Amino acid sequence: MIMKPLPPSSKIVLKILGKEGALTHKDIVKKSHCSPRTVRFALRRLKENELIIEKLNMRDMRQIIYQDRSIPVRQDILAEI
């Protein structure tokens, strides 16, 4: 797979996910101070480049949790969010 260059918003979101761990879209918007649309675009680009993992939030199945692929997934943390 050919990796496309990342826009600045994707780099910010990836840095936040690397530092904070697994987060919801709403949490990423709060921490990045970017608009929800910009965060959705950034997440889409990160997903296309296979740099993040999407998981369902077990407490609220309507939410998706995003995590940096380079950080090992811990199921106990995902259940806490």
- Specify the pLDDT at position 70: 83
Say what the pTM is: 0.81
Q: Tokens in use for 48? A: 């296309």
pLDDT per residue rounded down to tens, the chain (81 residues)? 566 789 999 999 999 999 999 999 999 999 999 999 999 999 999 999 999 999 998 888 889 999 998 876 555 444 544
**Total Cβ atoms within 10 A of residue 56:** 12
Domains plus CATH for the chain? 8-80 (1.10.10.10)
Cα separation values, 44 from 32, 59, 74, Å = 16, 23, 23
Q: Tokens in use for 18? A: 């690397």
Specify the DSSP element, H or E, that contains 67: strand 64-68
Cα separation values, 65 from 3, 14, 24, 31, 47, Å = 23, 13, 5, 15, 13
- Specify the pLDDT at position 59: 87
